[in-house]
Amino acid sequence: SITDHSEGQFTANFTSAVPSNATTCATIDLDRFTFNNHCTIYLESTSGATTSGVRVRITAAVNSGHVLDKNSTNIAVFA
């Protein structure tokens, strides 16, 4: 499931817990639906994902203070 905290900030929640301290996360921006509005996707924590989810922040590529929602974002978690 997804928890929407505010514009450009959300958590992808895991159905099954993943191991702690052994998890990394990659994020992928698909520009297909945003009319060339490229972005940067940050992990909210330098620790990566927790056992129950991963929180990310999406910002404009040229202005990290401008958060935005994307129509399509992919997150891959490796445990």
The model carries a pTM of: 0.72
Answer whether 67's CB lies under 8 Å from 42's CB: no
pLDDT of res. 5: 92
CB 7 within 8 A of CB 65: no
Residues 45-68 as b or e (16 or more Cβ within 10 Å = b): eeebbbeebbbbbbbeeeeeeebe
pLDDT at 75 over 70: yes
pLDDT digit string, tens, across residues 24-45:
666 666 555 555 667 777 778 7
User: Taking residues 64-74, what's their average pLDDT?
Assistant: 78
> What whole-number percentage of the chain has pLDDT above 90?
3
Q: What is the pLDDT of residue 74?
A: 75
Mean pLDDT of 57-79: 78
